Amino acid sequence: MQVGLIGLGIMGAPMARNLAKAGFQLTVATRTPGKAESFAAEITTTPKVRAARSPADVASASDVIITMVTDSPDVEAVARGDEGIFAGAKPGSVVIDMSTISPQVTRDLASDAAARRLSWLDAPVSGGQKGAIEGSLTIMVGGDRQVLERCRPVLEAMGKRITHFGPPGAGQSAKLCNQIMTALNLLSVCEAMVFGRKAGLDLSTLHQALTGGAANSWALEVLGRKMIDRDFAPAFMVRLQQKDLKLVLDDARASSTPLPGAALVHQLLAAVEAEGRGDDGTQSLVRVIERLAGLNP
């Protein structure tokens, strides 16, 4: 099976490495000049990875075309642009968008793809950079189940838990559920760390205790430890979490679904962005809660 991947960022590059490691004939492209060529040159697997100059070139060489870019407009440009996927894809090809974007935009793109005799799966992921590197991503899929089964070996090269949720857009809606919980877990860890600090507790001892009980979570284990170590390097950037929460709140507004917790985290992260820290990891939110508590960040 010929596979293409468009987008070689923090997530896309390790996903592409795992596809190459699994033995797929892989063609890659990215919007950053020279990045695809550099990536292809460093991969020593057989068959070799080939760099393409545009999404259209990737599509023309591939049976399955994966996109892993930032936001809804980026996916639309990659698909519909003059040098986009739709300009180069052969009838019968499958597009798998693994970005996190609007469910409505996904439904529109799937409809456009069907009119061109292409299949479209939305398959956003959870697990972060670590999951992408390890090939252990959780993948949430919307689209035709038979198409998913045909593409399952491709997805299994990148993830361990692959779940079908329904028609186009359903995978994106499931991912937004994930982002709601991620945001609120993040806030709860920030509040616990600040409360513990003001109470005079040793935060490393607190972390060790809490990770062994009912309050444990990935956010506590990973982001809580980073907060204690004052490590604000990004595994997932604040600005990307903000993009996802905007998608959540836009969809919630359209369906009259109140999400006060998600809205609160969105506003608090805006304070992080106002400091020029949008490229920090989301654990940087603890600095805002510390200031609200009168602590020196």
Alpha-carbon span 97 to 39, nearest angstrom: 20
pLDDT tens per residue, range 56-113: 999 999 999 999 999 999 999 999 999 999 999 999 999 999 999 999 999 999 999 9
Q: List the Cα angle 58/60/62 in 5-degree steps.
A: 65
**155, two tokens:** 């997805």
User: How large a percentage of the chain has pLDDT more than 90?
Assistant: 96
CA dihedral 171, 236, 248, 194 (to 10 degrees): 130
Question: Does 45 have pLDDT greater than 90?
Answer: no
Average pLDDT over residues 119-144: 96
Give Cα separations from 218 to 11, 21, 223 (angstroms). Answer: 18, 28, 8
224-235 burial, b for 16+ CB within 10 Å, e for fewer? bbbbbeeebebe
pLDDT tens digits, residue range 2-22?
Answer: 999 999 999 999 999 999 999
pLDDT value of residue 194:
98
The pairing of strands 137-142 and 125-126 is antiparallel
Please tell me the predicted confidence (pLDDT) of residue 37: 96
Q: Answer yes or no: pTM beyond 0.75.
A: yes
3-state secondary structure 128-169: HHHHHHHCCEEEEEECCHHHHHHHHHHHHCCEEEEEEEECCC
Catalytic choice (21, 35, 48, 175): 175
Q: Say whether 175 is catalytic.
A: yes
Q: What is the CA radius of gyration of the chain?
A: 20
Domains, the chain, ordered by start = 2-167 (3.40.50.720), 173-292 (1.10.1040.10)
Instruction: Please say if the pLDDT value at position 235 is more than 90.
Output: no
pLDDT tops 90 at residue 181: yes
